Chain A
Amino acid sequence: MKFSIQRERLVESVQDVMKAVTSRTTIPILTGIKITAAEQGVTLTGSDSDISIESFIPREEDGDEIVEVVEPGAIVLQAKYLGEIVKKLPTDYVDFEVQNRFQVIIRSGMSEFNLIGQDADEYPLLPQIEEDHVFKIPSDLLKNVIRQTVFAVSTTETRPILTGVNWKIADNELVCVATDSHRLALRKARIEGDAGQTYNIVIPGKSLNELYKTLDDTSDPVEIVITENQILFKAKNWLFFSRLLEGNYPDTSRLIPTDSKTTVVVKTKDLLHSIDRASLLAREHRNHVVRCTTIDERTLEISSISPEVGKVVEELPCESIEGEELKIAFSAKYVMEALKALEGTDIKINFTGAMRPFIIRPIGDESILQLILPVRTY
């Protein structure tokens, strides 16, 4: 293998794939980055076996030659050294050359590094992409979908399947559900692709958090390919692979109540700030429990009592309150996280009794829903 490459592009790519590399792995080869040089350009791959990131540097872009491949080939180099080395090389161009066995020479200007690499054949095989079952979704929409669901995944390993987000794809509609069995976040989005394809998969929350960091805030489309073991996201110059969680996701559709006994419409920010204040006293006690009582048709009372600390009461003016009177207690943390995930200035909350879950939705937007279980206090 022998090629010469623009240093700036290489640094960028190495940093991208470094996100997937961890030092605490049981598989020695995964401490390295795989470099593959081919006719079309150079590919870098990093992986911690849960997620894998592949970054592609094309031979030329906008008439600019970025890579010159003299001899194709592949090698695995220690990620921590490679990252530091390319960052600190003196000139704008870097030459890579693999000599006999796995000796690699990295040359830039007058400086020369001699690194010992590993056999690229030892690196895990990533699934091959089949172009026929591709879905497309704009990058910024995908980012939103992830942000609005992933916070609700379970953090305990007692039920591993709940540490992931359930993605259902049918009739070109993507439905994402995340729950930790105390609250549930649901988001729907339209995607482009083959309408006949249906999928029901669970993606680990950790992987989605990493993907979120990798995605841009542009409306460029991201391609999604789902294989038997992995899901693949493809943007212009990088590929993001994630393993899936094994098992069946619980059926959540029956959990969402359809009727409503009390309906409250309120400004998102007002409610958020009010609960935030009330939770100040509840922070260390009883799981951030905050109480909410209907006073009249336009006022809610938000209160919190901690016997050792004190109490707080606040009246919150609402747009409207319809239906039965209500006294309910809930975890401030869950409600605040749900409110932060929602878009829109006004929200509608549907309560179905003090002991039943309630639903928060932005007004006029059916694509997103947050469901929270109340806390038993009265």
Chain B
Amino acid sequence: MQPVVMRMIKNAIWKDRLAHAYLFEGMRGTGKKETALLLAKSLFCEDPAEGYIPCESCRFCRRINHGNHPDVHVIEPEGASIKKHQIKMLQEEFAKTAMESNRKVYIINHADLMTVNAANSLLKFLEEPDSHTTAILITEQVQQILPTILSRCQVVSFKPLPFEKLVEMLIDAGVNPKKAPLIAKMTNSFDEGMALNEDEWFAQAQKLVVKLYETLKKSPLEALTALQDNWFAHFSERDQHDKGLELLLLLLRDLLYIQLGKKEQVVFLLEEQRLEQLALQSSGLRLANQMASVMEAKRKLHANMNPQLLMEQLVLELQEG
């Protein structure tokens, strides 16, 4: 996992050239938080193998794993964002000496979700680093981090697993080869992929998405009622909607591939027959426009739009095509 990152951390510890702040950046499921905790454990472990591999069994490693180490602070978003008072608490904490040793580590997960106030408070804090303090910021969206914060951190990019490699791993682990590519498109984490494979909800969601698109094609007027009947009963949470839209996007992408004759790229393998039918009824330009609509809908979903209105608007837009 993450050979480049691991080598970098190893060298930093061996040569005692640890930066005061790191920004771990990469797609969901690339192991950023695990690596951050691993780094913390390397720094605190009593007896690390080869000087940097934590033993995972001493009381320091165990306490970091359980969130009980008093000098390792992990900040997670409180609700939808990281608030200023959380950063303030961190600052108060760091005005004091460490509890046990001289070293202190703080990890901010989803650093892109910091409110502007919080980010600015943190900035002042990052600017005056203490030699024994290590900051690790974690984000999936590096472009949303304030440039002033970015410039004070060493950015470490986490590469996603190559798509083919993940598909291979999933198939080796017993996932149906017809399902594996779709799952690999939905997540980059092997564990999460295995969970999706077992997930009844996800299997049902795929069917609903194909059905919605079919209804749109066959009888556009019924699409809105179909939305009420099936869609909203199944997709209730915001992240479920997000997954639904992602599936719809993949579906449109598949149709485009079929039209272009690149069938090996298709991921909806279970529904391939139906997709080929549908592909005949659409044009490339139209599909491209529809994909743009879905992407716009995803953006609006993250901007807290009411999911019901959002889906209705999307369906109307897709009808026009």
Contact = CB atoms under 8 A, between A and B. Distances in A.
Given A26-B73, A122-B59, A49 B92 contact: no
Interface stretch (A156-164, A213-221, A297-305, A324-332): A156-164
A229 B70 CA distance: 13
A218 B185 CA distance: 72
A26 B97 CA distance: 17
Given A28-B67, A157-B88, A157-B91, A124 B100 contact: yes
* Interface residues on chain A, size class: 20 to 34
A244 interface: yes
B92 A230 contact: no
Nearest to B95: A160
Contacts of A125: 100
Interface string B85-118: 0001001111111111110000000000000000
B59 A245 contact: no
A157 B63 contact: no
Contacts of A243: 96-99
Interface in A226-246: 228-230, 243-246
B95 A27 contact: no
A245 B96 contact: yes
Contacts of A230: 97, 99
B283 to A, nearest CB: 56
B228 interface: no
A244 B96 contact: yes
Interface string A187-223: 0000000000000000010000000000000000000
A83 to B, nearest CB: 21
B62 interface: yes
Contacts of A124: 68-70, 99-100
Most buried by A among B62, B63, B94: B63
Contacts of A29: 63, 66, 68
B130 interface: yes
Contacts of B74: 26
B68 A245 contact: no
Interface in B53-76: 59, 62-63, 66-70, 73-74
B39 to A, nearest CB: 19
Contacts of B130: 246
Given A122-B59, A243-B96, A228 B102 contact: yes
A50 interface: yes
Closest CB pairs A-B (n = 5) = A160-B95, A29-B68, A229-B97, A243-B96, A124-B70
